[in-house]
Structures are given as structure tokens and as C-alpha cells.
Structure 1
Amino acid sequence: MTQTFSSTGRDTFVGRPHSRVDGPAKATGLAKYAGEFNAPDLSHGYVVSSAIAKGRIVAIDTAAAEAVPGVIRVFTHENRPRTAWLDYNYQDAVAPPGSPFRPLYDDTIAYSGQPVALVVAEDFDTARHAATLVRVDYEAEAPETDPSKLLDLAYDPPKKRSGIKPPPKPWGDASAAYDAAPIKLREEYRLAVEHHNPMEPHASTVVYEGDGTYTVYDKIQGVSNSQGYLTGVFGLKKDDVRVMNPYLGGGFGAGLRPQYQLFLAMLAARELKRSVRVVLTRDQMFSFTYRPDALQTVSLGSDRDGALQSLRHDAVGATSRFEDYQEVVVNWSAVLYGCENVALSYKLAQVDTFSPGDMRAPGAVTGVFAIETAMDELAYATGLDPIALRLKNYSESDATAEGKPFGSKALKACFTQGADRFGWDRRNPEPRSMREGKELVGWGMATGVWESMMMQSSARAALTADGRLEVGNSTGDLGTGTYTILTQIAADTLGLTMEDVTTKLGDTRLAEAPVAGGSWTAASSGTAVMKACRNVGEQVFKLARQMEGSPLANVDFERVAFTDGRIEVAGDPGRSVSLVDAMRAAGVESVEATESAGPDTDFNAKYEAYTHSAVFVEVKIDEELGQVRLTRVVSAIAAGKILNPKTARSQIIGGVVMGIGSALEEESMMDHRLGRFMNHNLGEYHVPVSADIHDIDVIFVDEEDKANPLGVKGLGEIGIVGTAAAVANAVYHATGKRIRHLPITIDKILG
């Protein structure tokens, strides 16, 4: 089993709340985003989007657009330069199996909003105006965008997506056990399609350097993905393309894959031999990646005491015609609950849209909503308290992974501490039994779960003779606090102040790291930074031992500690040497190291690692109007070591708010006749605003985990998982009306 990594420093900063080190730059506007970088002779591209969802382009007329003063060129499938290897089936690090979408490839229209032209002009306003003058004639076909009409065509994807666990083979006999069970429950559950809607739009600025090389600023959660895409599709060398993205204005998974504006900007820059920026509109951001529709059926059979005898969870998820997008939807049921008779299935149905994409806790938001709502229904059917039912079926091992035990699981403490903070023992279990004036009061709870992962990652550390330390790698900071926690780890490892440390991220010239996603960044990049800093520390320690009359001359490295900019003998601070003095005495200007860190194969062979939560929700519902006010949330989290309680709490609150949006507001409304999302703006696509959010209380439960050297588990996803189910369960408690198709809107409450 992996032992916690010894940093040879002291936890001065790690484990304590600290404000974001990148906060001042973001608050003052000094932070630049992908669409804000300038270059000499910068031109601007504007995308023309298709007006149909399926069919072909019969004719495209660009003459009027090209006649506008300031327009440089209009690119279409008819005049696309053959600089792009569009027949090259590039697969980025998070792509599903299939053939990725190819912009301006031919006259085929595969989905509504598909780019059909790019207008490039001297300025943005000219490009936008000229784009309205492009005339496109279509031969339209009837699209099919409702997966519920395609259930007979649903299929098991022949090629599995990398990193996505397919459902395990059934065990026991779920059907026979269900038929024999005294208590039976079988219901259908569904979430609406949701779009990510980060504040920063998708944008790419391609700077033409004049020597055949390019500097690219792209909205992406991992610059290596964009670099790999550009080199693969355009036949460029890595050294020819530097991709940077130091700041990201939200991603939620929408920035995991390169989107089509990157292709179009590079295409235009290579052909025109000048810099090009392409920024997508909010409307156009509704034309690609989204949380997919999924039709789910959960069947539970139990004895009269609530012990599960049969568990079946089936799902059909939507995907595009050109890729088999997959996520883990049904497995969570068997991860959370022990049962001897289980059957899980997950199939796909192809619809005429762009491929869905990973959206914060992909699959878990969908699948956990279904199982946790079903468990609440079973609690009422058996007369058990919802927590008592979950404890009765509590699992200490992962049945989807051949019964491997969990490396750590403090979910019981989450139940206990969350319930105590919420006041759960005062709950009257009878629906419609609690009220305040004209409002019905409902209390609901649910469990959350997410994988605790670590990916292969590298990091570089460089200490200069003035006592300044620079660390970093190519991963991104979505706003989660990565800059801050890496700074904390580096400072503690070498005994420096946080002000002495500079962290750099989002640049392909830095040490290679995975995309920021999956809640793995802290464990992966954090461990790599710690190892790189430790390496630097060892080098400086050797220099210190070589100093004339050094108090460290006969001391082993494992006996020293780094603190206050000095290397001291542990327990004897009088025997110490400053880092600066050691380097100056040796005439060394800088000490550098690059280290890599990856998953512990020995640990992973024996244990499974998950983050857990217990979510408690209070709603108040106007009995006459059906209006829901979500007044209180308590989210108790078991996520190993918490590196920074302040940024960690922010992550959970953000996840909870997104979960509230999923439960009550977010819905991309498709007109299936047109195959187009109709509420493609933030005026009609509703997300929670400040007036919707009241008291959110976050508890971090003590938990020791050894899945990685830092002892951490990810926090980006766990805050959202289970929240929607807790809200739905609270709404049922308040009204006696079970709503199984999210979002829960007034018409569903009153109808």
C-alpha cells in the first residue's frame, strides 16, 4: 500500500484556507482569456451556422459577403484549402469511439448549427455583418432527435470508450429475485438535456509568427489536447505549435475537447498567413457538446425490512450519428448498494445532433439521480427512514470491480454529521406533514459518489539563488483553485512562503500533464509538483552539506526539514542552512527538476477509490402557485485530505448550485420537428442566480486515504452528484408528488 509522501517540509499552508493566488489578476482584469490575446495584423472570423439539422447544402453564395469592404475571405466546403488532413481520424485524449466531426468537410449537414462557412474580416463587426449576407440553400431531411423513439434501435457500443467502465456482467438472478420480492418498485427516470454554459465563450486566437510556427490561445481544459489536434489534423510538428491557456472562464467539461472554432481559426491563419481570432456566440455554444438525454429504468426488490433482493438499472443514452459517446450511468447503483442479484445495462441511441460531451460528473449526475430517487421511493414503501435504508444496504466493497474493498469510505460519517447539522431527526416522514404558513416544507436526502482518480502527470520546479521558486505544468485551472493548491504544496515542500512561489499552467512548453477534468488534477499534478520540489530540495541539500563548516555535513536527507527558507535538522533548528546561502556558496544560479507521478498500480490492484457525500435539502413550496424555494442545503463530503478548505468549499458550493439547476431549472428544449434547441441563450435557458440560492453548508468529514501520496480525493464533481435527487426527494416529501423527469417545474408540481 502506498504511504503518504514525505515532503520533508511542514504543513504550513496545506490544509489551511487561503485565497486564490490568481484572484487579483482575475478581479482586476489582468488575466487574459483565449479571445483576448492580441497580435499585429489580427483578423477576425465569424462562423455561419446551418439552418437545418439534417440534409445537404445545395448551393452557397458568398458574393455579397465578399463584396463588403474589409472582408478578407469567406471559407466554405467548396473552397476549403487542402492544408488540413480531414481524412485523418484524430482521437483526442477524451474522445469517444467514432469519427470526430470535420468542419467544412463536404456538403453534408449532420446537426443543427453546424458551421457551414467562416467569414474572415479586418474586424469583428465587419465579419459578423458579412456573415449575415452568406446565402445557403439546403435540401433538408427530417431529423430524429428524440431517443425515446429509437429504443428499438438502441445498441451496445461495439467499441468501448477509453477510461469508461462498461456495466459488469449480471450476477445472481435479478428477474427471479424481483418476482419473489415482497416489496417491488419499478419506475422510469429522465433528465433533460443540459448545456455547460461557462461564462467564457469558446474562442481561439491563432498567432501567425511568420516562420511557419504558430502561437495558439485556445479555450481548452488541457492545452496538450489542442496541440495534438492541430498537429494531427494539419500535419504540423509539435515544435511548430505552441498552445497556451493560462486562464479559463469555466469549463465544466465543455473545454475537454477542441471545438470547431480552433480548426477554423488555424485553417484561416495557415491560408491567409496572418493571425486570426474566432469567437463563438452563446447561440453557437448550444450547437455542440451537452449532457445527453438518458432514459432509465430502475427496478428494486426488497424484503419487508428493506434489504435489497434484486437490483436492476437499465439506461439508453443519446449519441450522435458519427461517434459513440459513452459515460458511466448504471454502475453507480451497484457501487453504492450491496445486493446478490444485480443486472445493469447501458445502450446507445443515435440522434441527429452533435456528440454529447462530458459535463460535470458525467454519467454520475444522471445515474445517481435515478438510483437515489428510487431508494427514496423504496424507503417510503418499506416505512424506513431514508438513511436507515441506505445503511441497511451499505456496501464496503465495489461489486462492479469484482468485489474489491474501498481504500477508504467515510460515508457513514457523512450521514451522521450531515443529518446532525441539518436536524434530520426533527423530520416528520409523512408527505405534506410539514408547513410554514402557505408553504409546504419538504426535507430530502441522497447519497453522492464519484471516482477518485489519479493520472500520469509531470511537473517542473526551478529554484533560483534569490530564493524564488517556479513550478508548473501544462494542465489548466478552470477556476477550481489549481494555481493555489500547487503553490501551497510547493511552498510547504521547500519551506518557503506562498509569496516566494510562482505557479505557471496552461502552456505546452511546460511539463506535460493531463487535461483538467475528472477531479484528478489535485492528486495528479499536486503529486508531480511535490516530487519535483523534493528533487530540488535534495539537490540544494547536497550543496548545503558541501559548505565549509556546514552544520548539515553528516546529516541524512530524511532527517532534515525545510522551513522558513532554511534546511534544518529536524528537532534541532539551531543546525540549519538557508537555501539561498547554500546555492550562493556553490555559485549556482538555479536548481531545477522535472518529475512524473502516476497511479499506484499496487494500490489499484487491491482497492477501489471513490469520493462520497450525503446531501440534505430543505424546500419550501407555495401550495397554490407551486413555486419552489430551496432554502437549505447541507452537503457532507468525504474526500480524503483537504488541501485548502476555502477553495474546496467553493468547489462543493459550485457543484451544489449546478445540482440545484439540474433539479429545478436547466433544460435545453428541443423542437424535434426542426432538430434544434430553441432556448439557445441565457435569457431562456435558466440557470440558478443569486436569488435562487440560500444557505449552503459544507462539511468535510475526516478521512484518511492512501490511493495517492497526497492522500487527496477530487472535489470538482462530488458536489453536484446526488444533489438533484435530494431536491426531488424533498419535493416529494413536501407535496406527496413524485417527479421523476427533471427539471421539476411549476407545471409538473401543479399538473
Structure 2
Amino acid sequence: MNTPFSPMGQPVDRVDGRLKVTGHARYAGEYPEDGLLHGSVVSSSIASGRVLTIDTREALKVPGVVAVIDHTNRPPVASYDEKYEDADSAEGSPFRPFYNDKVLYSGQPLALVVAETLELARHAGSLVRIEYEQKLHETDLSTALDQAHDAPAELPEPRGNFEAELAGSALSVDVTYSTPSEYHNPMEPHASTVLYQADGSLNIHDKTQGPQNCQDYLHKVFGLDKDKIRVQAAFVGGAFGSGLRPQYQLPLAVMAALQLKRSVRVTLTRQQMFTFGYRPRTVQRLQLGAAANGRLLAVGHEAIGQTSRFEDFTEHVVEWSGMLYHCDNVKLTYKLVPLDVYTPLDMRAPGAALGMIGLECAMDELACAVAIDPVRLRVINFAERNGNEDKPYSSKELLECYRQGAERFGWEQRNPEPRSMREGRQLVGWGMAGGVWEAMQNKASAKARIDAQGKLVVSSATTDIGTGTYTVMTQIAAESCGVELDNVTFLLGDSSLPTAPLQGGSFTVSSVGTAVQQACQALQRQLLEVAKELHPAYASATPDQVRFEAGQLHLGNQAVSMAELAAAQADGAIEVQVDAEPDKKRDAYATATHSAVFVEVLVDEDLGTIRVNRVVNAVAAGRVVNPKMARSQILGGVVWGMGMALQEEALLDHDLGRPMNHSLAEYHIPVNADIGDIDVLFVEEHDEIVNALGSKGVGEIGIVGVAAAIANAVYHATGKRVREFPITLDKLL
């Protein structure tokens, strides 16, 4: 009996792995060009005010310096007199580099020194002298909470009677949690290499999660025809959301290239990676009311986040509290405080990574108040439907996540009493939390082409930010077309390819993967039509009767190769392109990934140091296309969650209005020595509604719930509830 041909679901190695480990994968700041100029950004040292003078005389005396560009001598910019947006823009007016003399935040780019080498440009940048008229600034959320206004977010309407049910609850908790600002800091800093062509067109290599978004942005900002702009991002060294919007090095590099009619590269320093978007600081109040048996009667979640003075950045912080558990009386509030800072930006599991800290820590406090096991409390309040939308879930194996995760962790051996478990001088804490992330799908297009050698090339303008997109799309294409993996190439990261959404939100496999699948299926139909013309045996064959496998069309004992069919065409190839969009049957359902995170921490009783000793993360994400890639995504999310819980925070000097720890030496993130055992468990989940692949994506869900589970474990170990993140030893001692 033949085993079905199925590359999907296999732990295939990265198809781009060899290029990466041998250094042949080129990133945005690595493309060579004769005569390439280098730009270095000069940043504002004040947080609010205006520029009086920019003295560039000493910088221009440096041999090899070609130009210094600022708001006084920049080339005309088409859109600077009108509002424009990009695909990930917030409500308001987007930041315009070199727009005028106003300083909106500390670190704002004020000048660009262009020179023959990067070292010369940076040295000359240090010689630029800027005189300011300084204004009072406000960068501290905690002192400006009274200035909060409603966020322009589409929040679910309050349901039931929250206040009355809370007041009448047998038990309730009313607690406030705070989280700090965090910065993306991917390994590859942001860079743009703008290669100026003889005809005035631009070939750009940019660090981005959406080359077509950057192309559209430059088209709007500079008034250039789209066919004059090609944006490529073949390899991206991590992004986590920092590449969703075009960052300021891109327009500055284009500005310089257009003015000088030369190729220009602008690379940001690690310190300048702290001068644009970030995860916003929040203050969250949770009010939960429950019956004596633990059943939720009232859920209130109010979040206040920071934003810039020029845009209202919104994300889904509180919505999860209205959908993860069943409750008939819910009130969700989300407000923003404008400060003299740059606009925040989506950052891995935006909103959920923050909002679930508040919800899942409050649920742990409720479990203690009603003396019910934290897992049991969540099972009691399991929601069959999404209460915000009043829709059933397309699939939801969260109960299995609880069960299998608890079993793998050994949760039944937990003594619920805080400070009751120890190993020598180490207090042992066991904590858990749930996780949820919306399973989205966007429109996407893909092209599939098979040639006379039987080589299948599939393409779409998505990116691979290290998540394994090259590999999983290759697997989807191989299975959907019936071609061996070695004969498949997936092209991405190029604005000239078929349309794709930004890579983010865990919707790339659902969106682009569906387009790839449909393109390959359309190619199969085209191959069958050609076979009918060339081979009488196939003349009356229907698609159901033909088997596509290993590059051949099988019909009974007959077989014809796809290569032969392609060779018979005038141009020696068969090509199709499709536009895919979400199936209408999704509309009646809520779609989401879910998880259950179990954590063991060891807390030194004398020193207050915390070590995350082991983690079990049980995830239900539909069909997993590549378990090796998916596991890596969850591992990365768990490690980041450890950082959120225990280390990561931007420490602002509010007198200066900027981060003091703007380096990877002082901005603390987990390193290998901090990591204990991480066990990733994928719970089987079948979903024929979410998309034809049955896949929900795993990029975001790995981080959700981790920080809360660690905080709950720290409480269990020490008996001390820390509500200000990160949980550092000074807060425990």
C-alpha cells in the first residue's frame, strides 16, 4: 500500500539554513555597490522644543564627507503637505523625518551625514552642532495618568451589569498591574541600501516585514511611480514587529539618494534602535467577581497605555478578558496617555502579551481567594463561545492544553500553600497561565510555475523574519502540487512578486500558505488539461481520478511527468497565479489559538534571585506544518516571556526623556545561562473552518501567558505578590 505523499507535518530542515550558517545570506546592510555612500543619523538630544540652528561646517570639512542633509536643505518631499498612511499606521499623523524645526521626542533624527565610508559619516556626525529652544516635556506615564483619553479602539460593548454583579459577588479581587516599555532589539539592526539606477529608479534592500508596504509608503511620500521603486528583503535577521512600519532610515536613505543621484546606505546603531517603536508601558486594573464555587460573575479590565503626541497607538490589550473565560457581565476599558515620546509599535503578540499578564495574574489571585486550584478555576470558567463576538469557536482544544500540560508537568503533585515547597535553600514555586491569540487570515496572492526540468517555483511578496517561511511554503507547495521537496523553490521578499500582507500576527501561513496551496492546485488543473491534449489516456480523466505525486500525473497504471507537459508548451513552462482570501464560512465562527503554560521557579531565600527551572507550554494551533520550526517559535516565545517577567524594561531618565539603558549590555534579556528546560507540546487540533490548511500559526502564542505563569510561580514560591513588572530581586527582598 502506498503511503500518501505528505511533506506537510514533517520536521523538514530550513531550506535557507545552509546560506545562513555559511554567511551567504545577505541582509539589508550587506549589499555591495561601487561608489556606495554611507549615511549616519544625527539624533536629537532633547525631548521637546525646536531646532534654532544646525551647524554643519566642521562636519563638511572632513575629507570624504559628501553632504549633510537636514530640514533646511532636504529635497522636496511630495507628501509632507498631506496626510499619508502605511499598512500598519496608527491613528493620527505619522512621523515625518526632517519635516520642520520641531523636536517631538529625544532621539529624533535631525540630520544625515553622508560620506564615502560609514566611519567617516559617524565621525563627521559627532561634529554637527545643534542649538535648541527647549520646552518642558513629559515622558512618565505614571505621573500623567490623569491626562488619559479613550483610545480609538473598537472595544466590545459592555455586557450584563458589571458593577452590580461585582458588588454582589461572594469573592472578588481588585488589583493593578504595571508593565514597562520594551524594545524589539532584533539581532539585525535596521538598515536600508538604496541603489540608485541610471534611469532614476530605486532598487532598495530594506529590513522590513513588508516590502510592498515600503514600496507603497515611498510611492506616497516621494511621489515616485511604483514601477520606479523595487523593495527587497530576501533575509531579515529578526524583527518581532519592528519591521511592520517603514522606519526612518528608509526615507532618509531615499532622500539622500534622490538628492545626490548616488547609491546610499543608512544603518542605525544599536542605540538608535531605541529611537522608534516599542512595546508601550501600561497600567492595568483587573476587577474579578466570583461565586463561592469559582464561577466568574463579573470581569472588568481597564488598561492605560502610553502613546506619542502625534499618533494614538492602539492594540488589543483588554479584549482577551472578554473572550478567554465565560462571563455574562464584562466591562472593558482602554485609554491612552500622550507623551513626548515616539509612537509605540506592535511587538510580538501585541496587546495579548500585555493584557494576559493582567488577566492571568488576577485569575491566580482569584484562585487563591476562593481556594481552588488555578487549573480547576480555568476549567470551571471555560468558554465554548467567544463572548465578545457571541460566536462559537471553529475549534478550541484549550481543555486538552490544560490536561496534557498539567500531566506532562506533574501539576497534581503541587502543594497549593505558598512557601510550602523547597529544595535546600531554594524556594520552589509552581505557577500556570492560559494563552490565547486570534487566528487571522488576510488576502494574499501567489504564483506557481513548473518548467521543462520539473522544477517548481512558487512566489509571493511575503518575508521570512527568521520564522521559517521559506521552508513551510516549500512544504505546502510540494504537497499541494505533488512535487518532491528538492524540486521546489519559494521566492519571497520582493515587492515585484504577487501581493502579500505584512508578515506578522501569526497569519502568514494562513494567508500566504493558502494562496500557495491554491496556486499549486490551479497548476495541477492546468497540467491535467495539457495532459488531456497530449495523451489520449487522460482525455476523459477528472481531477479526482488523477494522483499527483513525485512530479508525475498518475492515472491507473499510466504516468506522465510534469516536466514533459511543461516542455510541450511554447515557452517551456506552465504558470498560474491566484488571489486567495478567507473563506466565507469563517464569518460565523471565532478563530483562535490557545495554550496553557506551566512553570517551575527556584527562588533563593537569602538572595531573592529567581531562576525559571522548567517550563511546559501546551499549544493548540490547528495543523502544524513543520513541527521543528513551530517548536522553535514557541521556544523563542517562552524565552522572551522569561525576559518580560524577570528582566526586560527600558529605564527612562525622565529629566532627559530617553532610555538610559539603550544597549544590549544594560538592556537585560535572557541569555543561555538563564534558561532551564523548556518542553513544547502541540495538542492535536483539527479545524476545517479556519482555512483549507487547517493551520492557525504559532509565532505569537508562544509568548502569551508565560510572564503571568512565572509571576504566579514566584508568588507560590515566596508568598509575595509582585504586581510591577519585571519582577526583580529588589521587589522580592
Scaled by the length of structure 1, the TM-score of the pair is 0.96
Rounded Cα–Cα distance in structure 1 between residues aligned with 2:177 and 2:220: 41
2:391 aligned to which of 404, 427, 448: 404
2:551 aligned to which of 548, 555, 565: 565
The residue correspondences of 1:322-721 to structure 2 (distance < 5 A) are 322-401=310-389, 403-548=390-535, 550-569=536-555, 572=556, 574-585=557-568, 589-604=572-587, 606-705=588-687, 706-721=689-704
Given residue 397 of structure 1, which amino acid in structure 2 is its aligned partner? R
Deviation at 1:173, TM superposition (A): 1.4
Deviation at 1:732, TM superposition (A): 0.4
Rounded Cα–Cα distance in structure 2 between residues aligned with 1:391 and 1:743: 28
Given residue 645 of structure 1, which amino acid in structure 2 is its aligned partner? P
Q: Secondary structure at the residue paired with 2:538?
A: coil
Name the counterpart of 1:143: 137
Deviation at 1:59, TM superposition (A): 1.5
Q: Secondary structure at the residue paired with 1:546?
A: helix
Aligned 8 A contact 1:10 1:495 in 2: no
Deviation at 1:356, TM superposition (A): 0.1
Rounded Cα–Cα distance in structure 2 between residues aligned with 1:614 and 1:39: 50
Deviation at 1:83, TM superposition (A): 3.9
Given residue 77 of structure 1, which amino acid in structure 2 is its aligned partner? H
Deviation at 1:564, TM superposition (A): 1.5
Name the counterpart of 1:4: none
Name the counterpart of 2:88: 94
Q: Secondary structure at the residue paired with 2:520?
A: helix
Aligned 8 A contact 2:451 2:567 in 1: no
Rounded Cα–Cα distance in structure 1 between residues aligned with 2:33 and 2:193: 9
Superimposed CA distance per residue, residues 216-246 of structure 1 (whole angstroms, 9 cap, x where no aligned partner): 1111001011101111000000000000001
Q: Secondary structure at the residue paired with 1:35?
A: helix
Rounded Cα–Cα distance in structure 2 between residues aligned with 1:190 and 1:385: 25
Rounded Cα–Cα distance in structure 2 between residues aligned with 1:289 and 1:188: 25
Rounded Cα–Cα distance in structure 2 between residues aligned with 1:133 and 1:145: 28
Rounded Cα–Cα distance in structure 1 between residues aligned with 2:65 and 2:550: 59
Name the counterpart of 2:50: 56
1:104 aligned to which of 98, 101, 111: 98
Rounded Cα–Cα distance in structure 1 between residues aligned with 2:5 and 2:200: 47
Aligned 8 A contact 2:5 2:549 in 1: no
Name the counterpart of 1:85: 79
Q: Secondary structure at the residue paired with 1:45?
A: strand
Rounded Cα–Cα distance in structure 2 between residues aligned with 1:516 and 1:584: 35
Rounded Cα–Cα distance in structure 1 between residues aligned with 2:122 and 2:77: 25
Given residue 356 of structure 1, which amino acid in structure 2 is its aligned partner? P
| 1:69 partnered with 2:63 | yes
Superimposed CA distance per residue, residues 234-280 of structure 1 (whole angstroms, 9 cap, x where no aligned partner): 00000000000011000000000000000100000000000000000
Aligned 8 A contact 1:88 1:233 in 2: no
Rounded Cα–Cα distance in structure 1 between residues aligned with 2:164 and 2:79: 54
Deviates more, 1:690-699 or 1:582-591: 582-591
Superimposed CA distance per residue, residues 420-458 of structure 1 (whole angstroms, 9 cap, x where no aligned partner): 000000111110000001100000000000000000000
Rounded Cα–Cα distance in structure 1 between residues aligned with 2:570 and 2:64: 58
Rounded Cα–Cα distance in structure 2 between residues aligned with 1:83 and 1:173: 53
Given residue 673 of structure 1, which amino acid in structure 2 is its aligned partner? D
Aligned 8 A contact 1:551 1:576 in 2: no
Unpaired segments ≥5 residues, structure 1: 1-8, 161-165
Rounded Cα–Cα distance in structure 2 between residues aligned with 1:274 and 1:258: 21
2:227 aligned to which of 239, 256, 265: 239
Aligned 8 A contact 1:10 1:493 in 2: no
| 1:119 partnered with 2:113 | yes
Given residue 647 of structure 1, which amino acid in structure 2 is its aligned partner? M
Aligned 8 A contact 1:142 1:673 in 2: no
Rounded Cα–Cα distance in structure 2 between residues aligned with 1:585 and 1:432: 76
Deviation at 1:561, TM superposition (A): 1.6
Q: Secondary structure at the residue paired with 2:251?
A: helix
Rounded Cα–Cα distance in structure 2 between residues aligned with 1:391 and 1:513: 39
Rounded Cα–Cα distance in structure 1 between residues aligned with 2:653 and 2:544: 66
Q: Secondary structure at the residue paired with 1:440?
A: strand
Deviation at 1:539, TM superposition (A): 1.2
Aligned 8 A contact 2:52 2:133 in 1: yes
Rounded Cα–Cα distance in structure 2 between residues aligned with 1:17 and 1:47: 43
Given residue 228 of structure 1, which amino acid in structure 2 is its aligned partner? D
Aligned 8 A contact 2:353 2:704 in 1: yes
Given residue 733 of structure 1, which amino acid in structure 2 is its aligned partner? H
Aligned 8 A contact 1:88 1:232 in 2: no
Rounded Cα–Cα distance in structure 1 between residues aligned with 2:721 and 2:664: 29
Deviation at 1:565, TM superposition (A): 1.3
Unpaired segments ≥5 residues, structure 2: none
Q: Secondary structure at the residue paired with 1:666?
A: coil
Q: Secondary structure at the residue paired with 1:390?
A: helix
Given residue 42 of structure 1, which amino acid in structure 2 is its aligned partner? L
Q: Secondary structure at the residue paired with 1:296?
A: strand
Aligned 8 A contact 1:662 1:742 in 2: yes
Superimposed CA distance per residue, residues 63-102 of structure 1 (whole angstroms, 9 cap, x where no aligned partner): 0000110000001111112244312322101111110001
1:201 aligned to which of 172, 189, 201: 189
Name the counterpart of 2:207: 219
Deviation at 1:148, TM superposition (A): 2.1
The residue correspondences of 1:258-297 to structure 2 (distance < 5 A) are 258-297=246-285
Name the counterpart of 1:182: 170
Rounded Cα–Cα distance in structure 2 between residues aligned with 1:376 and 1:199: 35
Rounded Cα–Cα distance in structure 2 between residues aligned with 1:359 and 1:311: 26
Rounded Cα–Cα distance in structure 2 between residues aligned with 1:722 and 1:352: 31
Name the counterpart of 1:300: 288
Rounded Cα–Cα distance in structure 2 between residues aligned with 1:121 and 1:387: 61
Rounded Cα–Cα distance in structure 2 between residues aligned with 1:310 and 1:516: 37
Given residue 662 of structure 2, which amino acid in structure 1 is its aligned partner? H
Deviation at 1:537, TM superposition (A): 1.3
Superimposed CA distance per residue, residues 124-174 of structure 1 (whole angstroms, 9 cap, x where no aligned partner): 1110100000001112122111122222221113x44xxxxx221111111
Given residue 177 of structure 1, which amino acid in structure 2 is its aligned partner? E
Given residue 537 of structure 2, which amino acid in structure 1 is its aligned partner? P
Name the counterpart of 1:154: 148
Deviates more, 1:520-529 or 1:553-562: 553-562
Deviation at 1:554, TM superposition (A): 2.2
Deviation at 1:588, TM superposition (A): 5.5
Rounded Cα–Cα distance in structure 2 between residues aligned with 1:594 and 1:629: 51
Deviation at 1:474, TM superposition (A): 0.6
Rounded Cα–Cα distance in structure 2 between residues aligned with 1:260 and 1:608: 37
Deviation at 1:587, TM superposition (A): 5.6
Given residue 426 of structure 2, which amino acid in structure 1 is its aligned partner? E
Q: Secondary structure at the residue paired with 2:80?
A: coil
Name the counterpart of 1:15: 9
Q: Secondary structure at the residue paired with 2:75?
A: coil
Rounded Cα–Cα distance in structure 1 between residues aligned with 2:495 and 2:76: 26
Q: Secondary structure at the residue paired with 1:125?
A: helix
